[in-house]
Amino acid sequence: MKQTLFFMFPMLLVSILPLSNSFARDYTQMGLPEGALTRLGKGYINDIAYAPNGTQLAVATSIGVWLYDTSTDTELNLLSEGPDYVQTIAFSPDGSILATGGYLPSPPIRLWDADTGKLLGTLKGSEDVVTLAFSPDGTMLASSGEWPDYPIRLWDVATRQPRDTRFDNTGSPYAISFSPDGKTLVSGGRDNTVRLWDVQTGELKNRLKGHRDDVNAVIFSEDGEMFASGSDDGTVRLWNVRTGETVATLKGNTKFPEEIRDLAFSPNGTTLASATTDEIWLWDIDTKQIIRILEGHTWHVSALAFSPDGETLASAGWDWTLRLWDAGTGKLRKTFGEHTSAVNTIAFSPDGKTLASASWGLIRLWSTRGVPLRLWYARTGEPLENFIYHIDYVRTVVFSPDGKHLASGGYDSRLRLWEANTGNHIFTLRGGGSAVAFSPDGKLIASEYGGDNIVSTIGLWDVRTGELRQVLKRHYAPLTCIAFSPDGKTLVSASRDSEIVLWDMPTGQRRLSITTQHTESVYSVAFSPDGNTLASGSFDQTLRLWDPHTGKRKAMLQYPDYVTTVVFSPDSNILAVAWGEWANSQVQLLDMKTFQSHATLAGHTEDITDLTFSPDGSILASASYDGTILLWKIPNDEVPQDVNGDGSVNIEDLRFIAVRLGHIGKGNAADINDDGVVNILDLVAVTGAME
């Protein structure tokens, strides 16, 4: 059999390579950190920009910059160097360079080859950056960091060094823009004023008053005779550059002014687009009247960009959608819904085929290959096509042991039960929050109880009828997490006052209270599947392991930052521990026999909010405030050839390796023989193991 398979290998390799090209273009595989299998979600959007030739649309997100092909609306690339939170982007006038800016500890400003996606270099010495602008001749890049300590700076693009020009750091500029002749820089910021600067000397040419709140956007007209500014005071002002006088004040709603987040002139200069709370207003520059209002976003519209031909207007909002509009008719042409908000919680279905996640007021079901399956409101159960802001902030989701039900809890003090397959709403109860758990037999749901004016108590609910069976009293601070022991005889709960309580389920009485160990809020608790260990992670930067029968501490591990979530592998051999904040967030796989680190998984750009193992233990899913879920391959010494973790060795494993041929570095899941490089030997190993 092995000889036959090896003889067939060249034919198999030829057949999978064309598939590999298609697979490699799957956006779920783009820019993955080392050890990750796939990514669900694209991160939330901070900025957008069209390439000058109109062939690409760049989208700055919490995990990097996505490049879209404007002719097909498909993903071309993800520009990211490790964890890379990008706040602002700008194309050079000739379109050859894309500049990206963001927050420390990553280099705040990077320069990329816009065609190849290759990193050209970084601008050293820059601080946190919220806005970027190229000079019209492309020789200079201006940056600003919003705060007084991060002033406007000019950079020489060729040398990548800061220029000697010094600008006064007052005003805390949110926005900057070059005049078409490159001689003037306009800025708007926190002090409600607009400033005009001499680019060569840094001298303040004019300070313009009129806005009554923060100025979020400034932009010059194409002829350079006028510029526009948008403010939180709900107005757009048009200014005469030469005199500094207000030409016009544009108000869309004078009775209830809505803050202006961004502005964009059409390429021919006849139309100005302004972004408001959830609408886009198109203004006729000659008449100073609204031409059209574009409706569709459901929360703040935060970024706008006209295509170079003026036919399309791109917009992004805090509803985490990217939308393309026909600029002439105002008709919505396309909505991209993969840019999620912060992911608060995740859970695998018992069969391992589905992953549930929650972001704000939405619950989403995914396949483990990254395909969105279903999306619905957390309040009404109404299905949605696109992401939308909702008042019900979902903090946790959990599957019932039989996989038929999904429970969700949020900050609206409601516990909701859903049909997992259909998303149909079953009932809503008084409870919820971040502490929700099914009993092992699936008959009860435990959650923080919010009824009868009793706070910091636990409610036990009958899953079949929704009846409140029992109330466990009580913690002295709001609950943070809750979990049943594998045998269902014990319930553990933790709260913001650092107390951990073990409850006897037959009687509903406190069995043990651990109050003198953790010194700050306990974020996460988890029983090992064998029932012999209880793990807790805390804001006090420690992981503590306990004997759940006696309450005696087994071990304590100190971390550099706070521990956000812990979870055991199904065989109890590994404890996954998430710790840290922003780009320093990572997951440690702890060997429970030695308490030594088995591996470290890094790739999120913001805090990790939840972890969950697949039922077979081959995949670990991590959720983050960066708006993404990463699926990580957990090494399996018994069947190393099952690299994609689907439970069998087949052509999908060959495909997984083929798209990674040439990758180097230890710890790569596709490097089966662990020689530091993914090569033909790894393909041979999989072929030999195929049945």
**Segments making up each domain of the chain, as ranges:** 1-30+655-691, 393-568+580-610
Q: Is 580 in contact with 607 (CB distance < 8 Å)?
A: yes
Least confident of 275-289, 437-451, 546-560, 634-648: 634-648
Q: What is the pLDDT of residue 392?
A: 61
The answer to whether residue 170 scores a pLDDT higher than 80 is no
Q: Is 132 in contact with 151 (CB distance < 8 Å)?
A: no
Per residue in 483-520, pLDDT tens?
A: 999 999 999 999 888 999 999 998 999 999 988 789 99
Exposed, middle or buried by CB within 10 Å (0-12, 13-18, 19+), for 440?
middle
Average pLDDT over residues 125-149: 85
The answer to whether residue 416 scores a pLDDT higher than 70 is yes
Q: What is the pLDDT of residue 133?
A: 97
The answer to whether residue 270 scores a pLDDT higher than 90 is yes
What the block records as the tokens of 141 is 């890049």
Q: Is 159 in contact with 175 (CB distance < 8 Å)?
A: no
Question: Sorting pLDDT into bands at 50, 70 and 90, what band is 379?
Answer: low
Question: Sorting pLDDT into bands at 50, 70 and 90, what band is 146?
Answer: low
Question: Sorting pLDDT into bands at 50, 70 and 90, what band is 104?
Answer: low
Q: What is the pLDDT of residue 384?
A: 56
Q: Within the chain, what is the greatest distance between any pair of CA atoms?
A: 86
- Taking alpha carbons only, the member of 192, 110, 185, 180 closest to residue 153 is 185
**Which residues are CB-neighbours of 503 under 8 A, at least 6 positions away?**
458, 472, 490, 491, 492, 493, 509, 510, 511
Distance (Å, rounded) from C-alpha 608 to C-alpha 582?
9
Cα distances (Å, whole numbers) of residue 152 to 143, 195, 659? 6, 12, 43
Q: What is the pLDDT of residue 281?
A: 95
**For the chain, what percent of residues have pLDDT higher than 90?**
59
Average pLDDT over residues 162-187: 88
The H or E element containing residue 5 is helix 2-24
Range from 15-19, 30-34, 44-48, 594-598 that averages highest in pLDDT: 44-48
Q: What is the pLDDT of residue 666?
A: 62
Average pLDDT over residues 444-473: 85
Phi, psi of 32 (to 5 degrees): -70, 140
Average pLDDT over residues 372-382: 73
Least confident of 13-27, 249-263, 485-499, 648-662: 13-27
Per residue in 87-103, pLDDT tens?
A: 999 999 999 999 999 87
Distance (Å, rounded) from C-alpha 45 to C-alpha 66?
10
Average pLDDT over residues 432-452: 86
Least confident of 345-359, 378-392, 521-535, 652-666: 378-392
Question: Sorting pLDDT into bands at 50, 70 and 90, what band is 8?
Answer: very low
Average pLDDT over residues 614-630: 94
The answer to whether residue 535 scores a pLDDT higher than 60 is yes
The answer to whether residue 194 scores a pLDDT higher than 70 is yes
What pTM, to 2 d.p., does this model score?
A: 0.84
Average pLDDT over residues 577-590: 93
Per residue in 328-362, pLDDT tens?
A: 999 999 988 788 888 999 999 999 999 999 887 78
Q: What is the pLDDT of residue 5?
A: 39
The CATH number of 393-568+580-610 is: 2.130.10.10
Question: Sorting pLDDT into bands at 50, 70 and 90, what band is 255?
Answer: low
Q: Is 490 in contact with 467 (CB distance < 8 Å)?
A: no
The answer to whether residue 163 scores a pLDDT higher than 50 is yes
